[in-house]
Amino acid sequence: MAEIQSDINTLLAWYKKAGRILPWRSYWPDLTPAYPVFLSEFMLQQTGVSTVIPYFRNFLERWPTINDLADASIDDVTAAWAGLGYYARARNMHKSAQIISNAGGIFPQTVAELSKLPGIGPYTAGAIAAFAFDKPSIVIDGNIERIIARYFSLKTPLPALKSTLPPYYQKMIPKRNRSDFPQALMDLGNEICTTISPACTHCPLSQGCLSAKTENQALLPNRLVKQTKPTRKGQIFILRHKTGDAPEYLVYRRPAKGLLGGLIAFPSQGWDDKRQGFDPNWRPFKADWVEVKPVIRHVFTHFKAEIKVFVSQVETTNSKNWDDAFQPNNETNNEQQDMPEFEWISEADLHLPKLMEKALQATTHY
Ligand code: SF4
C-alpha cells in the first residue's frame, strides 16, 4: 500500500508538469466549479476532447451559469449542440440543469445524488464528484481501466474485468489531491501507458507496476481473443538513420503472395513462416540491435502474433552495406534466403500495414 501511494505521489507530480491544459480543468488545490465540469462531462460522453473544446467555450459564453442554461429554450440548446451528435445528451443536460436550478442552483455533491439526474450515470457522477468536490469517487474510463489492469497485472478478460476494478482503484486514491488523481491517470493513459506502446521507462507508476516487472503490458487488458486462434511468435527489426530532421527506415516490399502480400514491411522472422517462434540467432543485418519492451501483439484472421521488436540506428544509408550484411542464418527457411530489395523510406512516405505500424510506434521512445 505504501508503494502504491508513493507511485501516486510521483504520478501527481508528473501531472502537475505534464498534464494537459483544458478549458474545464483546474489543478489542485483549485477545483473546477461544478457547472463547467457538468457541461464538459456531458459533452465528452461520446465525443473527443478536441471536438468538445469550442462547443464548451460557446456554451459557457452563452449560458455562464447553471440557471442560465436551465432558462434557455431546449431549441436553442439543441441548436448550439448541433455537430456534437447524440442529441439525447443535450436534452438530458438541459433537464438536469432545470432540476438543479429548481433546487436553488446548488449541485449535489455525492455520486448517489448526482446519479439521480437525467443522463448522469456512475461515471459522470463520479467525475463531477471528484473534479468539482474532491470526493474519493470511482472514475474509470478506458484509459484508467487499462492502467489498473496493468498496474495490478489483472488477467481477467474483458468485459468481466470491469466489475473487478473498483477495489483496485480505491487502493490508489490518494488522501489529498483527489480531484487531480483521475485526471492524472487519464493523461497518463493518453501519453505514456498507451494501448500499443506503453513507455514504462518514462512512467511515474513504474516502481510498483506489476506488468512492468513481468513484461506482460502489451497483453493487458486481456481482450479474450478466441482461443481457437493459435499464437505465432516472431521478431521485427527496424533500422533507421537520421539525416536532417526526418528519420528514414530500411524497408522492403513483401512478395505479392502470402501474408501482407505486396506491402512495405520491416525485415522480420517467425510470425509469417513455417518455422514459427522467436529465433534468437536470426538477425537480418549486423547492427547494434536494442530490444524494445514490451512485446507487441496483433491479431490476424487465423492467428495471433506476439512480436519482439528490435531497433537500431545507423549512420550510413549505403544500402549495399546492408545487402552485404544480410544474414539469412535460418537454414530451414528457404523463403528468407532470397534477398529482398531494401530501400530507405522517410517516415512521411511509409505506408505500413497495421502490424508494422505497431512495431514502429513501439520504438517511439528508443
Ligand atoms: S509502468 Fe508501463 S504498464 Fe505500468 S502503468 Fe506505467 S506505462 Fe503502464
- In CATH, which superfamily holds the domain spanning 32-133? Hypothetical protein; domain 2 (1.10.340.30)
* pLDDT single digits (tens) 113-130: 999 999 999 999 999 999
> Is the pLDDT reported for residue 336 higher than 70?
no
Q: 187-200 pLDDT, tens per residue? A: 999 999 999 889 99
Angstrom distance (rounded) from CA 113 to CA 124 = 12
User: What is the Å distance from ligand 1's center to 199 Cα?
Assistant: 7
Q: How far is the CA of 148 from the centre of ligand 1 (A)?
A: 9
The pLDDT score that the predictor gives to residue 226 is 58
Arithmetic mean of pLDDT, 153-173? 96
- Side-chain-side CA neighbours of 283 within 13 Å: the count stands at 15
pLDDT, one tens digit per residue, over 3-55 is: 899 999 999 999 999 999 999 999 999 999 999 999 999 999 989 999 999 99
Q: Cell 481477467, residue?
A: 156
Which residues in the chain are classed under CATH 1.10.340.30? 32-133
In the structure, what pLDDT confidence band is assigned to residue 331 with cuts at 50, 70 and 90? very low
Q: Report the pLDDT value the prediction gives residue 330, as an integer from 0 to 100.
A: 42
Provide residues with CB under 6 Å of ligand 1: 147, 150-151, 192-193, 198-200, 203, 205-206, 209, 211-212, 217
In this prediction the pTM is 0.67
pLDDT range class, residue 81, cuts 50, 70, 90: very high
Confidence class for position 332, pLDDT limits 50, 70, 90: very low
pLDDT greater than 60 at residue 289 = yes
Question: Of 174-188, 232-246, 310-324, where does the model show the most confidence?
Answer: 174-188
Q: Which of the two residues, 167 and 335, has the higher pLDDT score?
A: 167
Asked whether 287 and 312 are in contact (CB, 8 A), the reply is: yes
Q: Is the pLDDT score of 348 beyond 70?
A: yes
For ligand 1, the distance from its centroid to the CA atom of residue 288, given in whole angstroms, is 26
Separation CA 140–CA 5 (nearest Å): 18
Q: Give span(s): CATH 3.90.79.10, the chain.
A: 231-362
- The pLDDT, as a whole number, for residue 277 is 79
State the catalytic residue, choosing from 3, 41, 331, 357. 41
**Mean pLDDT of the 161-188 span:** 97
Q: Is 248 a catalytic residue?
A: no
Nearest ligand 1 atom, CA 146: 8
pLDDT of residue 61: 97
Contact 306, 300 (CB under 8 A): no
pLDDT at 33: 97
Q: What number of H helices and E strands is found in the chain?
A: 15, 7
The sign of the torsion formed by the CA atoms of 120, 123, 124, 129 equals positive
Can you give the pLDDT at residue 227? 61
Q: Which atom of ligand 1 is nearest to the CA of 192?
A: 7
**pLDDT band, very low/low/confident/very high, at 274 (cuts 50, 70, 90):** low
CATH topology of domain 231-362: Nucleoside Triphosphate Pyrophosphohydrolase (3.90.79)
Residue 329 has a pLDDT of 41
* Alpha-helical runs (H) found in the chain: 2-18, 34-44, 49-62, 66-71, 74-81, 88-102, 111-114, 122-133, 142-151, 160-172, 180-191, 210-214, 319-324, 334-337, 354-362
Cα of 150 to ligand 1 centre, how many Å?
Answer: 7
Give residue for cell 522472422: 269
- The Cα 169–Cα 147 span in angstroms is 10
- Average pLDDT over the chain, rounded to an integer: 89
225 band by pLDDT with thresholds 50, 70 and 90? low
Q: Does 241 score more than 90 pLDDT? A: no
CATH number of the domain at 1-21+136-223, please? 1.10.1670.10
Which residues make up the CATH 1.10.1670.10 domain(s) of the chain?
A: 1-21+136-223
What would the mean pLDDT of 68-74 be, rounded to a whole number? 97
Ramachandran bin of 200, using left for φ above 0, alpha for ψ from -120 to 50, beta for the remaining angles: alpha
Task: List pLDDT tens digits, range 126-148.
Answer: 999 999 999 999 999 999 999 99
Which residue among 191, 193, 293 is best mutated to probe the pocket of ligand 1, counting the most ligand atoms within 8 A of its Cβ? 193
Give yes or no for residue 319 having a pLDDT over 90. Answer: no
- Minimum mean pLDDT range among 44-58, 166-180, 195-209, 323-337: 323-337
177 CB neighbour count, 10 Å cutoff: 18
